Structure 1
Amino acid sequence: MFDRLEDLLIRYEEIMSELNEPTVAEDQNRFRKLMKEQSDLTPIVEAYKEYKAAKQNVEDSLAMLDEESDEEMRELAKEELNDSKARIEELEKELKILLLPKDPNDDKNVIVEIRAGAGGDEAALFAAEVYRLYVRFAERNRWKTEMMSLNENGIGGFKEVIFMINGQGAYSKLKYESGVHRVQRVPETESGGRIHTSTITVAIMPEAEEVDFELNMNDCKFDVFRASGNGGQCVNTTDSAVRLTHIPTGIVISCQDEKSQLKNKDKALKVLRSRLYELELQKKNDAEAEARRSQVGTGDRSEKIRTYNFPQGRLTDHRIKLTLHRLDSVMDGDLFEVIDSLIAADQAMKLSNLNDEA
């Protein structure tokens, strides 16, 4: 590990030297790549430098204990020695995590798809609430959201909603949200007060850029139609809605959120690229089944990952056996404890796998 850290430190210093050259800024592609690499290496290099400083402190404290006869100074040296040893242990764990292979999609924006599952109107209402949960979580992270496609059920629920979240590290935090989300509560239409169980599915896909996935436009069929809605200004009077069919896979995407046919077409293509990119990622992950499990559970959408129990005010994430009794704040976008726990469990599993391989 330390040989690799030394190599990374040398590479970091090379990058800093290159960035100081006046000619680098003239080549924007090279400049961006260097800045990205420098940004990725900075936390590793800073932790490693602190680790080396702590090691030096240990040596200095031991030398002082050998040479110093003054009892007060010896006590200070012992205190410094213990503090430095404890910090070294912490930094070794931190460095192991920092050196774990990074998901190349972690810094990407995400496209989120939420669909009502079992439970009819109640599932659609919950789909709308989970959509608002993610929008509020995005706001708390200062990310931006953009509606891509929406299919409402007429009473405030969403049969399906597709939207984009734009923000640094969005995929790294939200990728664990893919799967089946179950809700248990008494619907407003239930006169007997019985608790009903409904489900929705959530899919989190990294935004695929043209450099990530090459889409053959000959495989795409576009149809235009008049947008539907609840009446008034929401309904377009022109054929601006777009239905995109990807012939090889049979994937169909409809977008009618924009009044411009061109904008709806662009949004449909974004969603299609991300779906196809996710399929490619899934093929790769299926070929490495063990690596797939390192993403906290299998990541399979058929897997029930979480239960929201409203009568008890309880959220349970089944993959890591986490239970929180503050469902109201979670539904208001405070997902941080859940996300942090999932990331920690993922890192612990990857570290365990590395130790097993070693």
Structure 2
Amino acid sequence: MLCCSRWMQLTATYSKLRHYSKLGASLDIFRVKNERSKNCPIFRSYATNAFAVDDQKLIKYFFHLKKLNDEFVSSKHKGENRHAWPELLLEELGGRGKSAMERLFNISTVVEMLNERLHDLGEIEKLSKEFETDEEMFKETEIERQSLEDEISEIKTSIVESLVTDKDSEDNDGAVLEVTPGIGGVEAAMFATEIFDMYQKFCHRSGYDLDVVEYDMGENGALVKANVVVSSGDGYAYSLFKHEAGIHRVQRVPKTEKSGRLHTSTVSVAVLPKSNEVLPPLQRKDLKITFSKSSGNGGQHANSTLSCAVVCHIPTGTIVRVEETRCQKTNLDRAQQKLTHIVHSEVMKAKQAQVNSVRRKQTRSRERSDKIRTYNFHHSRITDHRVGVTLSGIEEFLNGGAVFEKLLYKLEENSLTEERAAVIQALIDEANL
């Protein structure tokens, strides 16, 4: 028989749980809000993913963050206190500015909530043991215990997401893709065309804006090099397309192969974030502009007038040649636009190599030149070597359909989980906990 005092304690505990549930729902910091989660299955399922970090060490680190915040709030020399924080933690918080302090304060507030929930869980577990002989009450306490454990898991996930943000989607609103044939001659160029078409179809299905900056074709009608800008407005296009960077290998019998032999060719894809800043025009003094007669087919007019525009960026030696139209001015405008994107892409590439330097050392991210995927036409299957996933339906995949989308989401989910776990472990190691 349950004594009156214990029953009152149980009732008080239930009331407290309901109170904190309402409190948690009213706090923006309880869960990191992300509009993408409404439509993306990856972010809907991410909250249930377990971090590959020791749970006790993770909770201990959360309390360590709260202690840092409390010391900072009570310190009379806040500037000196902040500069003494560990390097990686400062980087994850966004530097030494005011926003970093606000983020740490918000995290500390959620840690307080976590502490309350852990205390309530301990009380529920004690009551559960007392009710072992009372089947009905034991069942009720077990339901509350499971519900509380789920809430604690969500709070821990929200803290991790608040602390370790997806820096690859910050300060950009899309991606810059470069597709070039690799080993395999004409067959590599033909497959590069198919890869580029796949990206175009996927962007069309996803509602992304696609701007072809450069598209060079060879005499056989196959792709020599393509440079395209994909804009999404929220940086998520880059979060997906960054997983396409690397070497794509194709195994099939080329249409030009008369003996039926299987050929192996490669295509290289490079991906950079598209800056959300307006690209400043290149300085006129840095450009050398010349005009010449167009080459190739086009009739007497194309081959007799100076309609082809050739623009050279003197500091980098980059040259762009455009002869797409009969109008000299139109070709010049397009050449300057292409050159601007190319030069700024190189600047972005150099900048990206320096961004997140501490995090990169800790996570040891994969080299972009790795062979990432194999397309086997004979068996109609695609194998992604990074996650060990093999999918069937190569035609639908190359049409940028559901099979391709499914793999992109799988890669993004795997990338987020691995990187966050690695960074959290590095933060714990940095704190010597």
* Among 198, 202, 212, the residue aligned to 1:137: 202
Pairing 1:118–2:118 present = no
SS of alignment partner, residue 207 of structure 1: strand
Deviations 1:295-320 (A, max 9, x none): 75112x3x322211111222222233
Please give the alpha-carbon distance, in whole angstroms, between the structure 2 residues aligned to 1:7 and 1:321.
41
Pairing 1:78–2:142 present = yes
Compared CA separation, residues 102 and 7, structure 1 to 2 (3 A): farther
Please give the alpha-carbon distance, in whole angstroms, between the structure 2 residues aligned to 1:65 and 1:254.
77
CA displacement at 1:330 relative to structure 2: 1.9
CA displacement at 1:118 relative to structure 2: 1.8
Pairing 1:191–2:258 present = yes
- 1:15 match: none
SS of alignment partner, residue 182 of structure 1: strand
* Among 367, 382, 394, the residue aligned to 1:298: 367
**AA at the equivalent of 1:86:** D
Please give the alpha-carbon distance, in whole angstroms, between the structure 1 residues aligned to 2:362 and 2:245.
13
Alignment of 1:177-326 (within 5 A): 177-208=244-275, 217-225=284-292, 231=298, 242-255=309-322, 260=330, 261-282=332-353, 284=354, 288=357, 291=360, 294=363, 296-299=365-368, 301=369, 303-326=370-393
- 2:409 match: 340
CA displacement at 1:279 relative to structure 2: 2.7
**AA at the equivalent of 2:414:** A
Compared CA separation, residues 242 and 173, structure 1 to 2 (3 A): farther
CA displacement at 1:328 relative to structure 2: 2.5
Deviations 1:233-255 (A, max 9, x none): xx799756543323233233344
Alignment length, in residue pairs? 318
- 1:32 match: none
CA displacement at 1:161 relative to structure 2: 1.3
**AA at the equivalent of 1:198:** S
Deviations 1:29-63 (A, max 9, x none): xxxxxxxx9xxx8xx98xx59x7596687478568
**AA at the equivalent of 1:245:** C
* Preserved CA contact (<8 Å) 2:212 2:227: yes
Structure 2 regions of 5+ residues with no counterpart?
A: 1-60, 70-98
Compared CA separation, residues 121 and 206, structure 1 to 2 (3 A): same
Higher relative contact order (CA 8 A, sep 6+): 2
Compared CA separation, residues 241 and 319, structure 1 to 2 (3 A): farther
- Percent identity over the alignment is 27
Compared CA separation, residues 289 and 89, structure 1 to 2 (3 A): closer
Please give the alpha-carbon distance, in whole angstroms, between the structure 2 residues aligned to 1:343 and 1:203.
17
- 1:34 match: none
- 1:27 match: none
Larger radius of gyration: 2
Compared CA separation, residues 246 and 255, structure 1 to 2 (3 A): same
CA displacement at 1:187 relative to structure 2: 0.5
**AA at the equivalent of 1:151:** D
CA displacement at 1:199 relative to structure 2: 1.3
SS of alignment partner, residue 140 of structure 2: helix
* Farther-moved stretch of structure 1 (256-265 vs 315-324): 256-265
- 1:351 match: 421
Compared CA separation, residues 255 and 65, structure 1 to 2 (3 A): farther
* Preserved CA contact (<8 Å) 2:322 2:334: no
* Preserved CA contact (<8 Å) 1:108 1:170: yes
**AA at the equivalent of 1:114:** V
* Preserved CA contact (<8 Å) 2:319 2:339: no
Compared CA separation, residues 245 and 264, structure 1 to 2 (3 A): closer
* Preserved CA contact (<8 Å) 1:255 1:265: no
Compared CA separation, residues 209 and 353, structure 1 to 2 (3 A): closer
* Preserved CA contact (<8 Å) 1:112 1:205: yes
Compared CA separation, residues 207 and 257, structure 1 to 2 (3 A): farther
Compared CA separation, residues 90 and 316, structure 1 to 2 (3 A): farther
Higher helix share: 2
SS of alignment partner, residue 264 of structure 2: strand
SS of alignment partner, residue 159 of structure 1: strand
* Farther-moved stretch of structure 1 (193-202 vs 74-83): 74-83
TM-score, normalised by the number of residues in structure 2: 0.60
Deviations 1:243-278 (A, max 9, x none): 332323323334455762324422331232112221
* Preserved CA contact (<8 Å) 2:247 2:372: yes
**AA at the equivalent of 2:337:** D
Please give the alpha-carbon distance, in whole angstroms, between the structure 1 residues aligned to 2:274 and 2:161.
25
Alignment of 1:152-191 (within 5 A): 152-167=217-232, 168=234, 169-191=236-258
